[in-house]
Homo-oligomer: A and B are copies of this chain.
Amino acid sequence: MGVSLKDVALRAGVSVKTVSNVVNNYPHVTPGTRERVQRAIDELGYRPNLTARHLRKGRTGIIALAIPELGNPYFAELAGAVVDAAAGHDYTVLLDHTDGLREKELLVSQGFRAQVIDGLILSPIELETEDLLARTEGVPLVLLGEREYDVPCDHIAIDNVAAARTAVRHLIDLGRRRIAFLGARHESARQPAHLRLRGWRQELTAAGLEPSETLVAATHGYGRRDGAAAMAALLDRGERPDAVFAYNDLVALGAMRELSVRGLRVPEDVAVVGFDDIEEGSFAAVSLTTIAPDKQAIARLAVDCVVERLAGAATTPARRVRPGHRLVVRESTVGRRT
């Protein structure tokens, strides 16, 4: 099938070791030998077999990235950034998606395919602390996102509470008083939106406003459909907020669509703030104000963590890294500039 080191060695009239030295740029090789070997390599079209190399070295050069779903542009954009960041360290990214289901998240975290990967970057939705503690696989795990765990794993996430407060503050500054939160979960036990919801409560309270639970709308997932449904439910039960802070941009965009269908204007009747800064939001008919996490930084830091652990920092205590974020003000809160 393929051309092996041995074939090259035979052709060049040297030993495999010498060929290996040339391939790996080992310094102590006579220029003459090197050239002869190189010619044999070129003539035979030799390409090193990475699988064999990996078997030998115990590393595969592959990092797995497990996200809820590629259909969510935030994760798609993040995945792209991770692929780029990994390439910078000569790592390739293996992609898994969990659909935000605990079962799949468990599978991934417990080393499904762990033999092929050197590290794992996981963005969990429903996974629980005990699931993570039960982990036996040895590959470094880096956590991404809002969920908080008391486990010895590096964790990269922006300050969600602060970010949520900034968003709500912006709405309050605009004179809004009935500010709804879209994207809580029905079952309070597992509340992935925990921190953003907390930020919403804190900022309202700080402003002397009552964080009324009737203005919290639950969703099943975090897609456009969920946002539209939650907005509809809120309006159907007679609540009429003058602003909406959504768990993420997709929920916000779904809500805006529902508002538009019902003849309510954004931002005149209802101002909307999202979270994630997906490109789609900036091109919506009414562009979306949002919290922009620094995706490049998140991706870079996550890959860095994996690489560092691999480089031997296995014993260093788990790190908690908070990349930056900023509020991006667009039409959904301040209207179209003239």
Contact = CB atoms under 8 A, between A and B. Distances in A.
Most chain B CB neighbours (cut-off 10 Å) among A54, A113, A282: A54
Contact of A254 (B80, B254, B283, B286): B283
A205 interface: no
Contact of A97 (B83, B138, B279): B83
A89 interface: no
A2 B138 CA distance: 9
A209 interface: no
Contact of A94 (B80, B95, B97): B95
B285 A111 contact: no
Interface in A195-240: 223-225, 228
A260 B279 contact: no
A50 B76 CA distance: 28
A95 B115 contact: no
Copies of this protein in the complex:
2
Contact of A115 (B49, B71, B114, B115): B49
Contacts of A283: 224-225, 228, 253-254, 257
Contacts of A93: 94-95
A296 interface: no
A62 interface: yes
Interface in A42-64: 45, 47-52, 54-55, 58, 60-62
Nearest to A72: B76
Contact of A70 (B60, B79, B116): B79
Interface of A: 1-2, 45, 47-52, 54-55, 58, 60-62, 69-71, 73, 76-77, 79-80, 83, 92-97, 111, 113-116, 136, 138, 223-225, 228, 253-254, 256-257, 260-261, 279-280, 282-287, 336
